[in-house]
Amino acid sequence: MNDRIFINAVDMDGAPVHVAVQQGRITSMASECPVLPHAEVVDVAGHVLLPGFVDGHIHLDKSFVGDRWHSHQPVSSLRERLAVEKQALASARPMVARAEALMAQAAGFGTMAMRCHVDVDATTQLTHLEAVLQAHAKWEQWLEIELVAFPQAGVVSCPGTAQVLDQAMRAGAQVVGGIDPTTFDGDPDGQLDVVFDLAERHAAKVDIHLHEPGEICMADLQRIAARTEALGMQGRVAVSHAYGLGDLDDAALQRIAEVLARAGIAIMTNAPGNHGFPPVLKLREAGVRVFSGNDNIQDAWWPFGNGDMLQRAMLVAYRSGFYTDADLRVALDMATHASAAVMGKADYGLQPGHAADFVLVQAPNAAAAVATAPYARKVVRKGEIWQLPEAVAAR
């Protein structure tokens, strides 16, 4: 691999920086241009240097990216939505092709890793997991994926799902999922017993979808925290969405935030347009790790999204009322370092010795990049400017 110097970049604050890369790793980052004999010099013309993006929550098996446009169908219940989704997926292009199309799109925007929730239950068995694993096999050199066995149809309310979740963990999933233990499954203790038992047996992480309102959300978070601490799983449990945290008054929010921080439970939000969502800054101030992901992208749940985590950071900032440079940088952190930490990524970030995986964006600093989410950017993987492989682009 050729040595390279990326000159005339700017750091997150907008200060000049030059980056030297050898054998795919950053060797120096300095305001003065380093001397590296025989290195290729790449002038990046003032682009801001950002760490590679990490999508903390995505559904590769559901997306219609790479397929025809599917008009959204309104429904009146969650179970009706699941029925509409199954019908839409049955008439779509093969799941492998669609998952790969979304991987390509996200990678092109600069995503280096993602946590993918894949439907696994007694109705779908392992078909979705097998499709995503097949698609990822072509992309593993460019895109790291952590797989969540997600029981979309319920755990207790869908008999046989517990056994299929166990099979999924043996087949390659690294995280045990769950969904609305009280309002959907109707048995919070029963669902959480299954989820945490599987996590303990497989030495796996946990990531639970929680769409429940205020007090119900708070009660289930307390249950999740109790199990997390009892099993010594601090730092290995996440709750996705946690809409109900946006319903609480300041005193209740502070109480549950302290519980989450003590248990080391991370909270994922994509700042959805039709729901309240967790107050990011207040949770962070209490010591809770808050990260972000795209969630559903152009599927039966909603028609929005393109896989760009910089755009997602902008949407999180917009909905959160982030105006200052410092707050805009928080939204970027949620799409980079915070998500990387939840995934347990080592060797991540812009510092000497780490892998030279970064994104160069046409913006004067990191805050401006979040506020404007420009498409003009260069993606660098292992020190090489990356382009969509021709074999993939031709499909």
Q: Are residues 372 and 245 in the same domain?
A: no
Predicted TM-score (pTM) of this structure: 0.95
Q: Are residues 71 and 88 in the same domain?
A: yes
Q: Is the pLDDT reported for residue 394 higher than 60?
A: no
* Rounded Cα–Cα distance for residues 11 and 8 (Å): 10
Q: What is the tens place of the pLDDT at every residue in 314-324?
A: 999 999 999 99
Q: Is the pLDDT reported for residue 333 higher than 50?
A: yes
Q: Are residues 67 and 161 in the same domain?
A: yes
* Rounded Cα–Cα distance for residues 133 and 287 (Å): 35
CB 340 within 8 A of CB 113: yes
Last residue of a domain, one of 308, 324, 343: 343
Mean pLDDT of 83-89: 89
Q: Are residues 363 and 220 in the same domain?
A: no
Q: By residue range, what is the domain housing residue 261?
A: 53-343
- 254 to 207, 282, 288: CA distances (angstroms): 22, 8, 11
Buried residues in 305-316 as b, exposed as e (16+ CB within 10 A): bbbbbbbbbbbb
Closest by CA position to 60, among listed 115, 6, 20: 115
* Rounded Cα–Cα distance for residues 199 and 195 (Å): 6
Check the CA dihedral 235-240-246-247 and report its sign. negative
How does the average pLDDT of the chain come out, rounded? 95
Q: Are residues 303 and 365 in the same domain?
A: no
395 within some domain: no
Q: Are residues 244 and 353 in the same domain?
A: no
Q: Are residues 281 and 150 in the same domain?
A: yes
* Rounded Cα–Cα distance for residues 63 and 96 (Å): 11
DSSP for 3-65?
-EEEEEEE-TTS-EEEEEEETTEEEEEESSPPP-TTPEEEE-TTPEEEEPEEEEEE-TTT--T
Q: What is the tens place of the pLDDT at every residue in 252-276?
A: 999 999 999 999 999 999 999 888 9
Q: What is the tens place of the pLDDT at every residue in 3-15?
A: 999 999 999 999 9
393 within some domain: no
User: For the domain that residue 185 is a member of, what is the CATH number?
Assistant: 3.20.20.140
Closest by CA position to 169, among listed 141, 146, 152: 146
The domain total for the chain is 2
Q: Is the pLDDT reported for residue 2 higher than 90?
A: no
The encoded tokens of residue 147 equal: 């797989």
Q: What is the tens place of the pLDDT at every residue in 189-219?
A: 999 999 999 999 999 999 999 999 999 999 9
